[in-house]
């Protein structure tokens, strides 16, 4: 059976050389690494935050700092940080966003973790960057509408970074179909309600409060608090953690999104829906999730954790966001698991690094074979180097 296969991983020197070449090739003189030079030439917010960790692992603190500063530069006075920045070619997507230089939606605020990791690595971080990161989190915590559950709503599936996750399938008429979903996503961009600077505040047609996104807001706020000691932000993160606790479903063994999909696709067992593990305090729940991450009948795979539970009818090991391994999610899972079970974190790391290597450092890959999918190579897969060097 393919799933029992053990994929060979690289040694540290081989991995470092490949990651360095890839990031250098993708570096854009305006100050960021493109996720991929041809498929994704613009700056994406959460990609850049992950690149900061990769630059740091490569020993290049200057590029790490520069990329983070450039990602936060288009922040509006409200604190909103756009998910895409067209610094290379202003005006490129103005028709879609109504703003010339950047988008009107955001992405998971991974800048909290990026700042904290730089500080832990002994890299100086500018006060302005820390202030911008703090304001970005407050925008999400106060500027965004909340669901009655207490969770923050997103304005578009793109804001979660998990564009075609089966969690959004209820919003695709007649069930998921990649082409139909593409048109729905474009239409959903036109129903966003914006603030004075064009920043997304709400979307009456997509009132989903996803547990994965909220877990990343709480986690990043707590990460930033390790640097700033800001009690108010810590209290706001705690409130979100309490709200997340109420979304756990014991029968399914996952957290359920709040809002209109709560009784439908918001319950599909996906890896991004297990991100509340990052802030979970209940040891029994945590163990239940960790078991699934390694169970070959659930999320376990020789090339890393599957993006969708194998028992879901929608699971497809090769389809965009519907089953493959995503390196940024695998990385976050390792960070969530490590404090509780170093052995499990080590197993997740080994399989993910082997998968990244087998895939040619792809954007995402098949969890059983490591066959690369999407853009190849993709900068955030440099997280494999960060993972391989974590002391667990």
Which residues contact ligand GLC by CB under 6 A?
35, 40, 44, 46-47, 161, 163
CA-nearest of 37, 28, 49 to 111 is 49
Residue 161 or 300: which CB sits closer to ligand GLC?
161
Residues paired with 373 in a beta bridge? 364
Q: In angstroms, what CA-CA distances link 336 with 209, 219, 247?
A: 21, 10, 18
Nearest approach, Cβ of residue 274 and ligand GLC (Å): 17
Pull the structure tokens for residue 252: 């399914």
CA–CA separation, 46 and 109 (whole Å): 7
Q: Please state whether beta strands 32-33 and 27-28 pair in parallel, antiparallel, or not at all (unpaired).
A: antiparallel
Q: In the complex, what is the shortest distance from the CB of residue 47 to ligand GLC, in angstroms, rounded to a whole number? A: 5
Nearer to ligand GLC, 149 or 314 (CB): 314
Q: Does residue 188 contact residue 200 with C-beta atoms inside 8 Å?
A: no
User: At closest approach, how far in Å is the CB of 162 from ligand GLC?
Assistant: 7
Q: Which is nearer to ligand GLC, 162 or 233 (CB)?
A: 162
CB of 253 to ligand GLC, least distance (A): 25
Angstrom distance (rounded) from CA 116 to CA 133: 11
Q: Return the residue nearest ligand GLC (CB atom).
A: 161
Which neighbouring-strand residues pair with 33?
A: 27
Q: Look at residue 241 and give its three-state secondary structure.
A: helix
**What's the min distance (Å) between Cβ of 229 and ligand GLC?**
31
Whose tokens are 């999730």? That residue is 289
Q: Which residue's CB is nearer to ligand GLC, number 85 or number 335?
A: 85
Running DSSP on this structure, what letter comes out for residue 159?
G
Q: Which is nearer to ligand GLC, 182 or 389 (CB)?
A: 182
Quote the CA–CA distance of 113 and 122 in Å, as a whole number.
14
Q: Of the candidates 208, 214, 258, which has an alpha carbon nearest to the alpha carbon of residue 236?
A: 214
The least CB distance from residue 163 to ligand GLC, in Å, is: 4
Q: Which is nearer to ligand GLC, 161 or 276 (CB)?
A: 161
CB of 193 to ligand GLC, least distance (A): 23
Q: Could you tell me the smallest distance in angstroms from the CB atom of residue 296 to ligand GLC? A: 26
Per the structure block, which two tokens stand in for 376? 């190849």
Cβ proximity to ligand GLC: between 248 and 321 the closer is 321
For residue 364, what are the β-bridge partners?
Answer: 373
C-beta closer to ligand GLC: residue 248 or 364: 364
Residue 249 φ then ψ, to 5°: -115, 115
Classify each residue of 273-285 as buried b or exposed e, where b means 16 or more C-beta atoms within 10 Å of its C-beta. Answer: bbbbbbbbeeeeb
């Amino acid at each position: 059976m393919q799933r029992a296969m053990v994929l060979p991983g690289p040694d540290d020197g081989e991995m470092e050389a490949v990651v360095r070449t890839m990031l250098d090739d993708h570096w854009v003189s305006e100050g960021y690494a493109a996720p991929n030079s041809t498929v994704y030439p613009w700056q994406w917010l959460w990609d850049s935050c992950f690149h900061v960790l990769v630059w740091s692992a490569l020993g290049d603190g200057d590029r790490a700092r520069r990329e983070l500063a450039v990602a936060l530069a288009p922040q509006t006075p409200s604190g909103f940080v756009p998910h895409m920045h067209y610094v290379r070619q202003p005006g490129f997507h103005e028709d879609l966003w109504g703003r010339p230089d950047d988008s009107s939606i955001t992405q998971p605020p991974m800048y909290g973790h990026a700042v904290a990791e730089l500080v832990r690595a002994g890299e100086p971080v500018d006060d302005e960057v820390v202030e911008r990161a703090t304001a970005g989190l407050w925008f999400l915590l106060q500027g965004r509408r909340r669901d009655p559950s207490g969770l923050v709503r997103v304005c578009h599936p793109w804001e979660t970074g998990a564009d075609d996750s089966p969690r959004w399938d209820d919003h695709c008429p007649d069930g998921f179909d990649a082409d139909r979903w593409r048109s729905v996503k474009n239409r959903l961009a036109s129903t966003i309600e914006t603030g004075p600077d064009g920043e997304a505040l709400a979307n009456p047609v997509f009132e989903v409060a996803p547990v994965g996104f909220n877990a990343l807001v709480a986690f990043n706020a707590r990460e930033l608090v390790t640097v700033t000691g800001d009690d108010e932000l810590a209290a706001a993160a705690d409130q979100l953690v309490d709200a997340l606790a109420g979304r756990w479903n014991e029968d399914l063994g996952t957290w359920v999104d709040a809002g209109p999909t709560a009784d439908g696709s918001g319950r599909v067992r996906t890896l991004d829906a297990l991100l509340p593990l990052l802030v979970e305090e209940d040891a029994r729940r945590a163990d239940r999730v960790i078991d699934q991450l390694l169970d070959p009948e659930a999320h376990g795979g020789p090339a890393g954790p599957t993006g969708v539970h194998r028992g879901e009818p929608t699971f497809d090991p090769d389809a965009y966001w519907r089953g493959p391994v995503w390196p940024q999610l695998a990385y976050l899972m390792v960070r969530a698991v490590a404090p509780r079970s170093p052995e499990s974190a080590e197993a997740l790391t080994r399989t993910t690094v082997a998968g990244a290597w087998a895939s040619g450092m792809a954007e995402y890959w098949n969890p059983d074979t490591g066959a690369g999918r999407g853009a190849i190579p993709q900068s955030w897969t440099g997280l494999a180097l960060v993972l391989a060097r974590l002391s667990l």
